[in-house]
Structure 1
Amino acid sequence: MPRKAEGSDQFEDGGDYVQSLARGLSVLSAFGRDRNRLGLADIATRTGLSRAAARRLVLTLQHLGYVRAVGREFMLGPRVLELGFGYLGSLNLTDLAQPLMEDLARKVRQSSSMAVLDGQSIVYVLRVPGQRVMSVSLGVGARLPAFCAAMGRVLLSGLDDAELDSWLAQCKPTRLTPHTQTDLRRLRRIISDVRMQGYAYVEQELELGLCSIAVPLRNAQGRIATAINVSMPYHPDASRHALENVLPQLEQTAQAIEGCVPANRLQAVTA
């Protein structure tokens, strides 16, 4: 099923909830990088729907152009891109930021990314690949847990105290490596430090061998709209290198992006 917004269970019991729409979106969400082709039985299993219901929804989505048949299986159709690009287009930010982030990636010889906050996750809206550091390949639309990602902590630092309290109440941290910080009180202090210092540095919490440093992009009202980062491999001197060499370049890039984006286009995003 599609990812739920926090506090959505009560809404689903009300008269405004459209179950058929939710089920249709769950079918689209069933497809992913690991399975880009699915049969009806697979779709039913992944969505929790009956095979008959899955069939009706798939055929409807096929008629609308969001799904296409490949033999006895189905895959997403080109029209599904309209859903994602409509969102990115509303930001009108990535096209302006990409050349600046490409320049940053060349200077530091590492990958650089931009992400927004979506519930308990960050969602990548732009990625400039560099040296392969992570064991998984990330692209636009990829999601990572916000609590242990540098961009996630930067975005969380932009929440006010009440918003952060609500977010932490929903957070269920998982220890991904021996270095992952899972204590919620400690996470609150870390986010408070990020708010004061203006950047977040994370070392091997998300994945062994991976470090990341991130800074915010702010809108005209001074609110954090999105975050950009540089990812790099871990070595004993990684933190010093990140703070002394990478952070100044990252901050310069953030300032350049803020300077070239019209004020009404850089909106705070904490969906």
Structure 2
Amino acid sequence: MPGGASTGTFLQGLERGLAVIRAFSAEARSLTLSEVARAVGITPATARRILLTLEELGYVRSDNRRFSLTPRVLALGWAYLSSLDLGELAGPFMEELSAKTRESCSIATLDLPDIVYVARVPTSRIMTVALGVGARLPAYPTSMGRVLLAGLPDDELTTYLDSLEAEPLTDRTTTAPDDLRATIAKARADGYALVDQELELGLRSIAAPIHNSRGRVIAALNVSAHASRSTPTSLCKDVLPHLQEAAAQITTALTHRGHL
């Protein structure tokens, strides 16, 4: 137990709440109250109070007798990622990527229902909306959003799609849940996502995932280009190899820094 326990500063309730969150995993995506109590080493009554508190706060949901995490837990990870100064670390690789492709590139993380920009190297301005660090866009019509959504567990993705009220931002925007699920499944299978004028007419973008050391998608890197100087084919042929190389380099740099 941390040293704060002996000074009266240690909050056992917080420790147990975090332990309950950590009890869920890819192998245990849903747990009964008894399973949580056993995994954490607490009484069922304590487990019940913690789970109901987490449910009221939106971090846990219940289905009959089983509990599971919600995508809101990702907000806790966002606090960590924002402390990494990812832009500073990724900057040289993004500058090189922008120079090779002669296009703008960005990194974003997922904070459902949006993506949040954490780094950007612009060239000429190609969007009507100004983007900078901290800017938010909806996840569903963006290439980085689809890459990040593809990294979610299936149950979290289903929860997101079931609650989504997608708007047709252009006449090309995919809005139907089944169609969105198909595009996200394709992004998961291909290892990248390409969006053709779904967020804004005249704008195409392609994105690749940035992984942690356990293979989990924690961020996405994209290249954006005006439709007048790009085609989907050219983005896949000429830009994607450089994009995937840069994403791999950033993952390696984060790992070597001991962040992941």
Per the normalisation by structure 2, the TM-score is 0.68
Corresponding residue for residue 116 of structure 1: 109
Deviations 1:7-38 (A, max 9, x none): x9x7379xxxxxxxxxxxxxxxxxxxxxxxxx
Deviation at 1:136, TM superposition (A): 1.5
Partner residue of 1:181?
A: 174
- The 1:255/1:175 distance shift into structure 2, 3 A limit, reads same
Match of 1:232 in 2: 225
| CA distance in 2: counterparts of 1:201 and 1:248, whole angstroms | 13
Q: Aligned equivalents of 1:237 and 1:249: distance in 2? A: 15
Question: Which residue in 1 is equivalent to 2:159?
Answer: 166
**Structure 1 residues 188, 110: CA separation in 2 closer, same or farther (over 3 Å shift)?**
same
Q: How does 1:16-27 map to 2 (within 5 A)?
A: none
Do the aligned residues in 2 keep the contact of 1:88 with 1:94 (CA within 8 Å)? no
Q: Which runs of 5+ in 1 are unaligned?
A: 1-7, 14-85, 267-271
User: Helix, strand or coil: the match of 1:131?
Assistant: coil
Q: Per-residue deviation at 1:90?
A: 2.4
After superposition, the C-alpha distances for 1:101-127 in whole angstroms (9 at most, x for unaligned) are 011111111110000011110000001
> Which residue pairs with 1:248 in the alignment?
241
**C-alpha distance 162-256 of structure 1, shift in aligned 2 (>3 A):** same
Do the aligned partners of residues 261 and 237 (structure 1) sit closer, same or farther apart at CA in structure 2, a change above 3 Å counting?
closer
Q: Residue 265 in 1 paired to residue 249 in 2?
A: no
Q: CA deviation at 1:93?
A: 2.6
> Using the alignment, how far apart are the partners of 1:157 and 1:12 within structure 2?
25
Provide the alpha-carbon RMSD of the alignment.
2.3
Q: CA deviation at 1:265?
A: 1.3
3-state SS, counterpart of residue 208 of structure 1: coil
1:87 is displaced (CA, Å) by 5.4
Deviation at 1:170, TM superposition (A): 1.7
Give identity over the alignment, percent: 46
Residues 1:122 and 1:185: Cα distance change in structure 2 (over 3 Å)? same
What amino acid maps onto 1:265 in structure 2?
H
Determine whether 1:11 maps to 2:56: yes
- SS of the residue corresponding to residue 261 of structure 1 reads helix
Query: Counterpart of 2:33?
Result: none
The TM-score normalised by the length of structure 1 is 0.65
CA contact (8 A) 2:170 2:197 kept: yes
CA deviation map 1:213-249 (0-9, x unaligned): 0000000110001000000001385111100000001
User: Are the counterparts in 2 of residues 93 and 265 from structure 1 also a CA contact under 8 Å?
Assistant: no
Structure 2 residue aligned with 1:153, among 136, 146, 156? 146
How many corresponding residue pairs?
Answer: 188
Compared CA separation, residues 115 and 89, structure 1 to 2 (3 A): closer
Amino acid at match of 2:259: R
Note the residue ranges of structure 2 that are not aligned, 5 or more in a row: 1-52, 59-78
Residue in 2 aligned with 1:201? Answer: 194
Task: Report the alpha carbon displacement of residue 212 of structure 1 after superposing the two structures with TM.
Answer: 0.4
Equivalent position SS for 1:175: coil
Q: Give the structure 1 partner of residue 17 of structure 2.
A: none
Show CA shifts across 1:62-112 (max 9, x none).
Answer: xxxxxxxxxxxxxxxxxxxxxxxx755523432110111011111111110
Q: Deviations over 1:170-208 (max 9, x none)?
A: 211000000001111010011011000000000000000
Q: Residue in 2 aligned with 1:22?
A: none
